[in-house]
């Protein structure tokens, strides 16, 4: 499945189309997922007093966006799929930015935390260093980024209509270190299962001085 993207616009358009076409089914299949462990992993490392400004990067239909808001934080969603943008605004009542992952327009030093749950794995490896630097720039000094991605061994390409990259911890550390992030912790999910039954790699990072 190794691939070198030649047309980034096509990658974005087809991946977004996949989610738009399946928006209702995606919501039904994920609305009850418990990602409390991931939300706690982000919040416990943010050093400012609440409420925190949180960017939910790839917020989907707004499940986690609503939870951040219920916890008393100022949550902003960012999503590429228009159907998800509408659903997230309606479900959460939060501000949601409709932006392509590969064409971001983010304010500098604005957020205390970035929550990238099951989203950054859609960014091609060739573009990931740039996108991570843009997320670094939108964090306040000392801000925290959480990511969770399906783990693998560097496979990259199309999988069931979506462009996906499957990182292991070593490669993910290289990407994050090159973007001036410092690792705080990492773990595998779902918790409590043997490693071969834990397909998700979660990790937490602090913005280092650039």
The pLDDT tens digits for 79-94 are 999 999 999 999 999 9
Residue 4 has pLDDT above 60, yes or no: no
The pLDDT tens digits for 95-148 are 999 999 999 999 999 999 999 999 999 999 999 999 999 999 999 999 999 999
Residue with tokens 């929550």: 115
Predicted confidence band at 25 (pLDDT cuts at 50, 70, 90)? confident
Predicted confidence band at 28 (pLDDT cuts at 50, 70, 90)? confident
**For residues 199 and 121, is the Cβ–Cβ distance under 8 A?**
no
At residue 1, the pLDDT reads 40
Report the predicted TM-score, pTM, of the whole model to 2 decimal places. Answer: 0.94
When pLDDT is averaged across residues 11-18 and rounded to a whole number, the result is 92
Predicted confidence band at 194 (pLDDT cuts at 50, 70, 90)? very high
At residue 60, the pLDDT reads 94
CB atoms within 10 A of CB 55: 27
Q: Find the helix or strand (DSSP H, E) in which 121 lies.
A: none
At residue 6, the pLDDT reads 54
Residue 151 has pLDDT above 70, yes or no: yes
Complete domains list, the chain, with CATH = 8-207 (3.40.50.150)
The pLDDT tens digits for 46-77 are 999 999 999 999 999 999 999 999 999 999 99
Q: How far are the Cα atoms of 40, 82, 144, 156 from residue 37, in angstroms, in the given order?
A: 5, 28, 16, 27
Least-confidence region, from 27-41, 66-80, 141-155, 187-201: 27-41
Q: Name all contacts of 87-90 with Cβ < 8 Å and 24+ positions apart.
A: 87/23, 87/27, 87/60, 87/61, 87/62, 88/59, 88/60, 88/61, 88/62, 89/62, 90/62
- Write down the mean pLDDT value for the chain: 93
At residue 210, the pLDDT reads 59
Residues 6+ apart with CB under 8 A from 191: 37, 198
């Amino acid at each position: 499945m190794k691939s070198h993207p030649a047309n980034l616009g096509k990658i974005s358009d087809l991946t977004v189309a996949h989610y738009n076409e399946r928006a209702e089914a995606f919501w039904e299949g994920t609305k009850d997922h418990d990602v409390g462990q991931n939300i706690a992993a982000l919040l416990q490392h943010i050093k400012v007093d609440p409420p925190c400004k949180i960017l939910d990067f790839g917020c989907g239909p707004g499940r986690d966006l609503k939870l951040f808001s219920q916890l008393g934080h100022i949550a902003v969603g960012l999503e590429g799929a228009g159907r998800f943008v509408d659903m997230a605004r309606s479900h959460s009542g939060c501000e949601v930015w409709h932006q392509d992952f590969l064409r971001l327009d983010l304010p500098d030093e604005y957020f205390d935390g970035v929550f990238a749950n099951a989203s950054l794995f859609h960014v091609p490896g060739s573009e990931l260093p740039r996108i991570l630097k843009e997320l670094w720039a939108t964090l306040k000094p000392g801000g925290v980024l959480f990511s969770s991605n399906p783990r693998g061994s560097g496979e990259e390409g199309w999988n069931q209509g979506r462009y996906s990259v499957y990182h292991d911890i070593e490669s993910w550390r290289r990407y994050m270190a090159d973007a001036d992030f410092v690792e705080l912790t990492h773990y595998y999910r779902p918790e409590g299962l043997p490693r071969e039954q834990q397909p998700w790699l979660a990790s937490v990072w602090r913005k280092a001085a650039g």
